[in-house]
Every structure is written in C-alpha cells, then in structure tokens.
Structure 1
Amino acid sequence: MFIIVYMPLQSDIKNPGKLSNDQNMLQSDANDDDNYESIVNTVHGVINEDEREVTKNSNATPQLYFVNNAKCKIPYINPFEPDVMKNFRPDTFETCTNQSDLVRPIFDMNRKQYVLQIDENVASQILNSHDIEYNCYYQEITRDADHDSYNDLLPQIYFSQGYVVPLHVQALILACHEAANTTNILQRDAYALIQYKPQEQNLEPKKTTPRKPSVLMFGIDSLSRINLRRAMPKVYKFLTRRGWYEMQGYNKVADNTFPNLMAILSGYSPESAKEKVCDTDNRGCFDRVPFIWKYFKSAGYTTAFAEDECDIQTFNYQKPGFVETPTDYYHRSFLKGFMGEMNTWKCANCTLTYCIGRRIQSSYVYDFGRDFAKRYIDERPIWGLFWSSSFSHDDYAMPAKMENYVLQYLLDFQQDGVFEQSIVIFLSDHGSRYGYLADCSSGFLEERLPTMFIYLPPWFRAQYPEYAEALEMNRNRLTSNFDLHNTLKHIAELGQPPNSPPLPRANDCPKCQSLFQPVSRDRECKEAAIPEHYCTCEPYKRIEFAWSDRIALGVIDRINHYLYAKNFSSICANLTLNYIHKTEIKLGLDISFHEEIPKLDVGYYRVKFKVEQNSADFMATVLYNNVTNHVDVDVEKISRTNSYEESATCISHKLAKLYCICKSLLKS
C-alpha cells in the first residue's frame, strides 16, 4: 500500500503527540492510560455503530459480521475484549536522538537539485564553542547489483555551506568532525535522495489524455484490521473519513508476507510463478516476473519501492532479490548501506532494529515515500510501495507505541495535498501469526484478516462515481489479494488509448476482478483463490472429544513424512505430540454456532498443537475421516504459530523451515 507520509525533521518529532491545533481532534496523550482508554472506548463505540449497519437488517443472529451472506459469514470481533486488553498497554514512543540535524540535504525547487545545508548553531552547541573549526564530508552509497546490496563507501568528499549534490548521488552518509581532530566526530547521518528525473516526452497531446491517478501503497507488516482498531485507534479514525473505503471482507490468500505480496504485485502464487514464469529461488528470476510496477511504468508512471528491515525483506529473505533495479527509485541498497555503516539500536522491547544512526528505521522508508510524492505529485502520475516491518512484525502491541508517529505522516501528507491527487492504499499482508494474539480466542481471524483501506481522491470519485459505488458495495463482501492486483491493473489502464488491449488479470484467480466493479454478494473462498486453511467464511466450534486427539497425531505423522520426502529427516528431528491446545470443527453455514455439534463421518477440522521438540506450535486445517482415521492435509499450508528463527538454521528451504527442528538445536 502506499504510504503517504511526511517525515518531519528528527527535531520536530521529539514529541510526536504534539500536533498543530487543527489536528487536535485526532490527538491525545497516548502515554496516559486513562486518556488512552478513553480513546479506545470512543473508537470502540464508533466501530460498533459503523459496523452495526452491516447486519441491522439481517434476520440471523445478533452477532456482528464483517461479511454476512448465504455463503460467507466472517464474524466481527470486538478488538477490546477483556482477554486481549488485560495484557495490552501501549509503550512510550522513543526517539533516537534529541540533537538537531547538523547537516541536511534540502531540495532546491529552482535548481531541481539537492543542496547541503549546515546548521552552524548546532555545530556550536556540540562543540560548546563558536571558535572551534570543523569540516564536513559525505560518502556516496552505490548499489551492488550482484548481491542486491551496496558497494564499499566511496572516498570522502569535503564540502562547504550550500554545496550542490551531483545528480548521480542517490544516497550518502554525512559527517562533520573537528578540524584539528578528525576522530572527534560531531555528528553522522544518512540520507536517501529522490534525485529529479525529467519526465519522458509523450508525443500524444495532453488534452486527449484523461487524467491518471497516482497510486501510493503504504504497508505495515502483520497488522490485522482488528488490531489496527485496538493499537492505532486514531489512525483508524483517520482512515474512516470521507473518501476512504475499508475492505472488511479482505481475506489473505497465504501464510506469510512473500506469497501474499506476490499475489498483489504479480497475480501469481510462488508455486504458480515457479511453474509458469521462473523459479524465484534462482538469481535473476524476480527481474522476469511481471510485477505491477512494470505495467505502471509502461503506462507512463514513475515508480518507487522501499522496505525496511533488510534481513526479512520480501524478495530477499531466503530469496536472491533483484539483479536489475526494479523501479525508478529503489531503496534496498541504501538501507543496507545505512545499516552496515551506521550504529544501530534496539529499544527495550524490540526484537528488530529500532534506530539506524540518528533515526527510527521505518522513517528512512517513510521519508523516501514523502520525498518521492513531493517531487512529482503535481507533475506526473506516480506509483509507489512503501513497506514497514520493523515495528510490527514481532510485537502486536508495538504499533500502539508508533501510533502518533504514523498519524503525523498521514496528517502531513494531507497538508501537502497528496490526497487531492492520489489513490492511497493502506494495507497489511496478514495479522499476528504467532504470539499472544494468535493464542486468543479470536486468533484465527486476527491472523487471516489483514488491514485493507483504499482512498479515492475527490476528483476521481467525481469522474468515476461507479467505481466509488462499487468500492462502497464491496466493503462487506469477500475479497482477496488477487482482487487488489486486478484493481491495480484497472488503474494502470485508465487514460490509455481506447484501442489498447486489456492487461492480463491475476493468473491464479480466474474469477477475481477489479474492486471497482461489484463483487458477487454470495462469493465463496475458492472463487477468490483463498485456500481452505485461510478461509474465514465458515464458523468453527471447539470440540473436546477423546477421539479428536487422533487428528493432531495424524497431522504430525504427515509433517514427518514431508521432511523425510524432502531428505531433511537426517538433520530435522522426528516430531512427537506434547499437547493439544484446541481442536475445532467446521460447522457449515446451515448449522447454528450454538446448536449441539452433529456427528460427522467426514469433516473439516482446525487443530492447534504443541510438539515435544523445542515446544514448537502448529495450526492445521484438516479433512478428517472419523471412520477410517484418514487425515488429509496440505503440509505446506500448516501454520507455525511461534517463532522458528532459532530452531531451523540447519536448512534454507523456505517452507520446510517452518516444520524443521534441527537435531543439533534440540533443547532438553
């Protein structure tokens, strides 16, 4: 999703709770428990009132639903249920430094180049003197295409006030030191630059070309629509204002980030791409995949792509990354350089890097998006994806710590006029897949229902009212990643010559469509290419029969056979059952959740269990025959519900890592 975010100066973000007067309606002190709970209660009321509209005419049950029709019933979950909130408190926002910037690159709109501005007052404060001389230099960061990383830093180039940065410099590390003592570094900082690129000339007269909307996608990893309401109520409130459409029936199609983003960005699952395009484990394959940015580029858009947390980036974690630069502006090599050359820091409750140098890690991505939008938003159509994992991937509560920080970006983008020009998509890939939230009663839904908001600017709603009407209609209908892919293709087609051939729709979902067209009310998961294991359309109910233990045992047997078939059984432990967290039966849409559970010879079950080996937890959706004791399960669709990072280092196979407990890493 695109994030339109204005990143304030580090000195301006010291108190992220401090907004301008016209923003006070969205603001209060998130560090005050009473105030926070007041916000939560207010937003909770708004949510209930809003979503009560979905089912107020329903003749079924009093339960609220995200989707409620004859073939799909996705229940609404109260984000503020006591079993969740008893352990939920937002942490205090932390800055990486209280020191103002000594040197900043400022974009000169007349020159269309960056100028380095030195704040002499800051230097005097650091040196505690106006008389001590100091020198400043920069080192350029360049891309290493062979490893989708960065090369060694180029030599130091000293500069003085007002130095004009050459156009070829795309990222740099800045430093100033005492003139008489080069080891006395006053300050170091790092910046990625959106150097201006003239627009390619279009020979077609402008007046014959319909207006093309920019598309900015802002993604936050592991953020369910339920947890957004809980952890970021003020951001949620911003996203429910006029022009925003929440796809409340948006259901993920796969387990983790890579396959879910592959569906959005390419229209392929990894398995299908391997069969029909190339093997994404091989170097150079991603350059051949028909990603959405290629279609936008062909349609005259300038493109950008940025992610934080380099070690788990979508196309680089256990993957080869890109050889060619995929978009006009590509951030990875710069962030790799920043992480490799600057000091890093983790906050007290962080598992991932919080600060790189003087700045919050995600701010490098958000600033990149902000500068990209400001550079071109009034001049040409742009497409960008700006993705953050660093503050949400491992901790469901940490987004609450960052709420004002994210909200400030959105408010500043609004002030910069970005929402007047652009379609903005605020999304996630999935919810919490392991940890406390996944273990709660709503964990199955938390994991499978990611955040998905789409904003249409006023001019677009006026020019295409039927698209806005379709989005409104689709709010409470079942949709998936492949529908979003088709929507992006639909946008790329706007403004193209009348006789242009239609772009190919999502390869792996023949029945998926653009969200600018009404989705069938009675849609099923298979029509949206949502596998049974991830489908939230039909309710499950917990069972505790003695015979139900056989289901978990059968699943474990299938996992062990899978590891054997992959030739990993010599290094991966044979798994054995420790205990069963819960077993649930799929009731079907014609059975009331509150009725007595019928006896089924064959049925779908959902089982969550722990194995003896390193206390690994799993959840599986199983077709089980109670007569023959046969378990039918796709092993690669079984979810690992706690972290496997430290127990599967002996293999590199991306999927098998979920199920492998290395013999060499077994704990007593």
Structure 2
Amino acid sequence: MSWIAAGRGGGDGITPLLSASSSLSVRLRYLFLIATVFGGSYIIISLSNYTNISFLENEVQFGISGSSIDIHQNLETYNERFTIRTKGCSIPALHPYDESIKKFVKFPRGIKQCPNTNKALLNNNRTHIWVLHENKQHYNISDERIFSCCYRAFFRPSAVEDIESPRIDNRVQYKDCVYFDNYIKVSDEFVRVSCNFDSIEVYQQFFLFAPHKEFVSHGTDEWATSKGDKQAYNVIIMGIDAVSRLNFHRTMPKTLQFLKTRGAVELLGYNKVGDNTFPNLMPLLLGIKDTELRTTCFPSEKSTFDNCPFVWEWFKQSGYYTALVEDSSSIGSFNYFKNGFGHTPTDYYIHTFIHEAEKYSGKIKDFNSYLCMNEKYFFQVLLDYIENLTLALKSSKLFGFFWEITMSHDYLNYPMVMDTSYELLLNRLDASKYLHETILVLLSDHGIRWGEIRSTKQGRLEERLPFVYILTPHSFREKYSAAYNNLKLNSRRLTTPFDLHETLNDLVDLKNIENENIIFRGENIYATKRGISLFLPVPDNRTCEMAGIDDHWCTCHRGKKLSTNSSEALEAAAHLVRELNLMLYVHTQCAKLSLAELVDITEMEVGTPREKEIGWREFMVTVRTLPGNGIFEATLRQTSSDWMLAGTISRLNLYGKQSQCIHNYQLKLYCYCK
C-alpha cells in the first residue's frame, strides 16, 4: 500500500505519521550500552524502553534509542518561558519532552534493515571494486570458472534536445561492459556492476565515486580568486528533511552533542516561510519566494530551473567547485512533479546516479522513498559521498549543498537511525582537519507536517520551527569577530531562510564581513529588508511581517481558542471550504468538497492597534472535509466587509491515492478524485 501526504517541495510528497501509530507513553528508563565502532573505539548509547536494538551496516554497529536523550540532563536549557523574546517577536518555550509530545517519541519498530546486510558480494574503496569471495556461498557460487562481473560506467550525456521534456533530468548513457572476476580499478564517477554465475545474474549494485575533476570557471580569471585561497572557506550545507529543532534534539543527540562541543551556533528563532520543502529552499537558494519564480526564472510547470541564479553560481564564479546532491530522485526537491535541470547545474551532480540506483537497486520502499540501495541505506550513500568529495577536493574550495530525504521525510523518529552515522562523519571531517577550513551549516526545512503530533499545540509550533546549526572554524571566529558575535546575537532573534541566503552571499566575498565593514553595514540596516545576513545584527524589533513570514507560519503570535459553535467559527470554516473549491474549480476531475466538521478555531493576536480598531481579525481554522476526510488548516483574515485567506492552506493528514488524477504538486494536497 502506498500512501501520500501533504506534498514535498511543493512536494513533501506523501507520507505517513510513523510515530503516532501507538498511543503508549514512552517510559523514561535509561540503559547504557557500549557499542564497538570500527573495531576499537567506543561510544555510549542511551536506550529508552528498548534493548537489543542495533543495525549493522558497512561494518559499523550503531544503536538507536527510544527517546535518545536524557531529559533529566540540562533541563535548565528548557526552563525559560520563551525560546526567544524580543520587541518584535516572542516564541513560547518548548520542551522536547512536553507531556503532549512524550507518547510520540519511540524507536521506530517498523523500520526494516536493508536486505542481505553483511552478505554483499562486492565492496569498494575510493579507487577499486572487488569481489568478496567469502560471501560467494550466499549466492550459491561454487565454480569460479563460470563466475564473472560486468562493470558498466554510465553518465549524464550533455546533449539536450528538448529542454522542457519531463524526462530531461533523467537522461542516461551507459558504456560497454568491462568484465572482471576478482577486482577492477575505477576510472568513472557512476558505475553499475552485475555479477553472473552460470549465465544467471545473482547480484547487482551501484557504486558512486568522487573523482577530482578539472576546474572549469564560470567567470573571468579575475573573478576566480578563491581557488586555492587560504583566506576562503569551504561552505558545506547539510540538510535533513522534515526535522524540527526539538525533534533534532530528541532523535539525533550524538550529532547534537558534537555540534555543541565544537561551539556551533543554534538559531533558536528560525521560522519557516512556506508549507513544505520547495517554498523553504527557494528563499535559501535563490533569495525569493516560490510564488515569485513565475516572474523571474521559472515561467511554467514545464520549465526547468536552468535560468535560475542559484547561490552555487556565486561560488562557482569565485573559484569554488560546486555540488548539488540529494539522496532521492523520485521526490527530490527539484524533481517532484517538476522537470529538474536540463543542463548539469553544478560540478558534482548525482541525480543521474540516484535515479538509476532507485530504478534498478531500490529496496524497501517505505511510503515515499526507497530506503535502501540493495544492502546499503541511501542516506549512507549520501554521507559516504560527502566524505569522499571533501577528500578529493581537499586542496580546492568547495560549495556543497547536500540534502537527505529518504530516511527522515516520512517519519518523526526515523532520524534516530542516522544519528551515529552523522556523528561519525562529522568526527572524521574534524579529525582530518577539514572542518578547520569549512563553514558547516546543518539544517532542516520544517518539522513533521502531519499526523497525531501535528494536532497538538507544540506539534504545530515545531512544524514551523526547523533546526539550524552554523559551525565556524576558530580562525573565522578570531579574524571576523564582529560577524561572529552578531551570529551569536542572532541565535535568539527571529530568522528565516531569506537570512541564510544573505549570509551565503557574504561568504562569497569575505571582505563583506571584515570587522570595519560589519560595523559600517550594521549601522545601515533597513528594518524593512526581508533578508538580513546573520553576520549583521538582526533588529530586535523584527516582526514576522518584516521578515517575510506569512501570518499562517508565524510562531510569534499568541492565540485564544474560540467555541466551534460561534458565528465567527462557522463563517470562517465555510470560507475555508469555499477557498478550497475555488482552487479546484477548473479541475473537473476533482470532487467538490463540503464541510464535515469544524475541528478547531483560534483567534490570533495579530495586527496593529489601528488595524484592530477598524475591525481586522485573524483566525487559525482547522476543518475536515468530505469526500476523503481531508483535514486542512489555514489562517483567515476577517475585515469589516469580507474574509480572505492569509497564506496557504496546510493539509494535516495523508491523502494516499485520493489525488492520483492530478499532477500539480500543490493541488494534490486538496483534490479528491471523482
């Protein structure tokens, strides 16, 4: 059975609530197990309510905890009344183990281990692929003479015939087979290997490599000044889809501890600006709202993103290698009901590889995503690639945007599975001194957007408050002390993806953030500027309106619950259903929706005194509609003469196959096919 929930990237695709499958409270009992990692070094893993939980992958044993963090430790962190409190915005304090949340936090029992773990027929390093002869028995290979493997490199051909073809980003070309029966040296980026015994295929796997490519500048020699420049820093953005700030605390405590120990700055007031992945990545990568794409660089749904000025172009012009890497093809940020890129957007772009690996070696499709590439998790493929790419480009500068989708997208607690792997990667990057020359941004786009947790007050706020950590080297903190102090100041200010966009712009040319320039620029900040570099002081009086956050997503507003039988409630619910039907009106394959239940209504305390004087009020409304039992949430504004929608409409439950007759990533949330 395949289910789809409130779309990703426009499409956050499709997904279930994993953690809400049981209403049992998590008993906060802690066991401490010592797990051996890499045959010698030890880590402490805290387990709550579960024993004998471990997954073995790539000879790395990692345990996964039920609650994953000792809630009795550092309670003072959560004892404050407000997460942030400024003149312009107060966000109420949230505890990661609030009474309304604890019952959802548990080890994901339903998650499956990749098939044939520890039985792989092939292994590889950065230069070779070889046969694991000791595992031949698992494939009934008894005669060496009739066993061989076919090494087939493949690549993304450069020729582009139809730039608006829906398959343009999936094009692929394979080279001829090269046969081997023991080992083979690798000379390609993407490789598919199939092994045959007695002319029957017994094994297949894909292998991803990070060769050092010849640098091709997109700018002039004068522009390309950062290549090899020790004053420039690598900029690495590592995204984890659909993880709120507090869910990161709950599910990835070891990664969190690494970041805290190294002095990473956490943005406590980072507020999303759109519903799902796509409208939160466009402000980060382009500096504009997704609704502004039509008038800039993406005129229609049939277009590709080739004409959009993404931030990696800035870095490319300044002499950086660039990378755009996601671990999912089918629900990738630029490919879910979109055409992706006609031309290869960055120096390193693995969409072609992931698409082929999903198609031929994808295993365990857990709702939206294939979790495994045969015996290996796709998220681990991503992490291994990050490490290999940083090694390959250690003598050059890299801007990399790496986005994990497959494990975290659909389930509240699945990030527990990844915690040790992320911690190990960061420790290795640190041990190799790569982080000494790197600005690392670890972040998400939003919290989980559906299911039982989403029906709680804290769940609604968490969904709007993703996590962001910015880790800078000591040399950066010393040389750009004014900028770094502003970054720490802004950790308790209202911030958005628009601000991260401006911050990346400053990192292209570090002269922007030299101390004397920071002081000058800080005195000339316009309070109405939508995006403000985090190296400048974000104004204390900043409101959601000033930051470009629609009221529907704003976490600064307080609310007062109203009776669902009040006249305002009934009017607001009726108007919300009218808005839904207006969006679907021209799509005759979609049924007309009717109000089945007014689930909840809250009057929000927003607006200036003058606006309130003239009768301006806002309500957050949740309704259930028929047919389909869709649950929708929206903010509606009431004036003296009319109602209007303030922002977009969220869907809070799964839509499964109800909307399979429509291919618009936004309308899929609302359409019930006749």
Using the TM superposition, give the Cα deviation of residue 223 of structure 1 relative to its aligned residue in structure 2, in angstroms.
0.4
Residue 390 of structure 1, CA deviation = 1.2
Confirm whether residue 559 of structure 1 aligns to residue 580 of structure 2. Answer: yes
Q: Deviations over 1:185-229 (max 9, x none)?
A: 2x3221111121244696899999551110111111110002112
Q: Indicate the SS of the match to 1:250.
A: coil
Structure-2 residue corresponding to 1:258: 278
Q: Is the 8 A contact 2:209 2:385 kept in 1?
A: yes
Amino acid at match of 2:620: R
Q: Deviations over 1:290-309 (max 9, x none)?
A: 00011111111111111122
How much does 1:158 deviate?
Answer: 0.8
1:340-371 Cα shifts (integer Å, max 9, x gaps)? 12252246xx5532212221122222222121
The letter of the residue matching 1:315 is: F
- Which of 287, 306, 331 aligns to 2:306? It is 287
The yes-or-no answer on 1:82 pairing with 2:99 is yes
The answer to whether the Cα contact below 8 Å between 1:571 and 1:650 also exists between their aligned partners in 2 is yes
Q: Choose the corresponding residue for 2:593, options 575, 580, 594.
A: 575
- Residue 653 of structure 1 and its aligned partner are, at CA, apart by 2.5
CA contact (8 A) 1:437 1:446 kept: no
Query: Relative to 1, partners in 2 of residues 1:645 and 1:263: Cα closer, same or farther, differing over 3 Å?
Result: farther
Partner SS state of residue 454, structure 1: strand
Partner residue in 2 for 1:344: 363
Tell me the equivalent position of 1:183. Answer: 200
* CA–CA separation in structure 2 for the residues paired with 1:80 and 1:137: 52
The answer to whether the 8 A contact 2:577-2:594 is kept is yes
* Alignment correspondent of 2:151: 138
Question: Is the 1:225–1:452 contact (alpha carbons within 8 Å) kept by the matching residues of 2?
Answer: yes
Q: C-alpha separation between the residues in 2 aligned to 1:17 and 1:403?
A: 14
Tell me by how many angstroms 1:170 deviates.
Answer: 1.8
Q: Distance in 2 between matches of 1:76 and 1:251?
A: 14
C-alpha separation in 2, matches of 1:474 and 1:31: 38
Deviations 1:441-483 (A, max 9, x none): 2122111111111110122112212222111111110000000
Greater shift, 68-77 or 541-550, is seen at 541-550
Partner SS for 1:42: coil
**Is the 1:580–1:608 contact (alpha carbons within 8 Å) kept by the matching residues of 2?**
yes
CA pair 200-44 structure 1, distance change in 2 beyond 3 A: farther
The structure 2 residue matched to 1:411, chosen from 423, 427, 431, is 427
**Which residues in structure 2 correspond to 1:199-598 (within 5 Å)?**
199=215, 209=229, 211-279=231-299, 281-284=301-304, 286-346=305-365, 352-377=369-394, 379-494=395-510, 510-544=529-563, 546-547=565-566, 548-564=569-585, 567-568=586-587, 570-588=588-606
- 3-state secondary structure, aligned to 2:125: strand
Q: Which amino acid aligns with 1:576?
A: S
Q: Distance in 2 between matches of 1:280 and 1:366?
A: 34
**Partner Cα distance (1:306, 1:67) in 2:** 33
Match of 2:630 in 1: 616
Which residue does 1:658 correspond to in 2?
Answer: 669
Q: TM-score, normalised by structure 1?
A: 0.82
Q: Which residue number in structure 2 is paired with residue 42 of structure 1? A: 70
Distance 1:404 1:242, change over 3 A: closer
In structure 2, how many angstroms separate the alpha carbons of the residues matched to 1:163 and 1:280?
A: 46
Verify: 1:148 aligned to 2:169, yes or no: yes
Structure 2 CA distance, aligned partners of 1:330 and 1:581?
45
* Rounded Cα–Cα distance in structure 1 between residues aligned with 2:502 and 2:462: 25
Please report how far the alpha carbon of residue 115 of structure 1 lies from its aligned counterpart in structure 2 after TM superposition.
3.0
Q: Which runs of 5+ in 2 are unaligned?
A: 1-32, 53-62, 161-166, 515-527
Q: Following the alignment from structure 2 to structure 1, what is the Cα–Cα distance between the partners of residues 255 and 668?
A: 35
Alpha-carbon spacing, 1:325–1:184, altered in 2? closer, same or farther (3 Å): closer
Structure 1 pair 36/338, CA: closer, same or farther in 2 (3 Å)?
closer
Contact 1:212 1:495 in 2 (8 A): no
Indicate how the Cα distance of structure 1 residues 33 and 633 shifts in structure 2: closer, same or farther if over 3 A, else same: farther
- Matched-pair contact (CA < 8 Å) for 1:66–1:248: yes
Partner Cα distance (1:654, 1:660) in 2: 11
Q: Secondary structure at the match of 1:536?
A: coil
- Judged with a 3 Å threshold, the aligned counterparts in structure 2 of structure 1 residues 160 and 313 are, in CA distance, closer, same or farther, namely same
Q: Which moved more, 1:392-401 or 1:258-267?
A: 392-401
Identify if the C-alpha distance between structure 1 residues 66 and 291 changes in structure 2 by more than 3 Å, giving closer, same or farther: same
Alpha-carbon spacing, 1:152–1:454, altered in 2? closer, same or farther (3 Å): same
| 1:173 alignment partner in structure 2 | 192
Q: How many Å separate the matches in 2 of 1:563 and 1:541?
A: 31
Normalised by the size of structure 2, how large is the TM-score?
0.82
Count of aligned positions: 603
Per-residue deviation, residues 532-585 of structure 1 (Å, max 9, x unmatched): 111111112222152222211121122222322xx12x2222211111221111
Q: Which amino acid aligns with 1:550?
A: E
Once the two structures are superposed, what CA deviation does each residue of 1:381-408 show, in whole Å capped at 9, x if it has no partner? 1011111111121211222233333333
The whole-number CA distance in structure 2 between the counterparts of 1:118 and 1:386 is: 30
Contact 2:321 2:399 in 1 (8 A): yes
Q: Residue 172 of structure 1 contacts residue 192 of structure 1 at CA under 8 Å; is this kept in 2?
A: yes
Task: Tell whether the 8 Å contact from 1:66 to 1:74 is kept in structure 2 after alignment.
Answer: yes
Q: Tell me the CA shift for residue 632 of structure 1.
A: 1.3
CA distance in 1, matches of 2:508, 2:357: 34
Q: CA deviation at 1:491?
A: 0.5
| Structure 2 partner of 1:115 | 128
Closer, same or farther in 2 for the Cα pair 1:614/1:253, shift >3 Å? Answer: same
Say which is worse superposed, 256-265 or 398-407, in terms of deviation. Answer: 398-407
Identity level (%): 27
Deviation at 1:426, TM superposition (A): 0.7
Aligned AA (1:115): H
Aligned to 2:60: none
CA-CA distance at 1:646 after TM superposition? 1.7
Residue in 1 that maps onto 2:50: 32
Superposed counterparts of 1:625-636, under 5 Å: 625=639, 630-634=642-646
CA contact (8 A) 1:100 1:122 kept: yes
For 1:208 and 1:227, locate their aligned partners in 2 and report how far apart those are by CA, in whole Å. 38
Note if contact 2:66-2:105 (Cα within 8 Å) is conserved in structure 1: no
- Mapped partners of 1:253, 1:491: distance in 2: 23
User: Which structure 1 segments of 5+ residues have no match?
Assistant: 1-14, 56-63, 108-113, 499-508, 592-597
Structure 2 distance, partners of 1:232, 1:106, is 28
SS for the counterpart of 1:637 is coil
**1:264-323 alpha-carbon deviations (Å, 9 max, x no partner):** 011121221211333152334x11100001111111111111112222111111111100
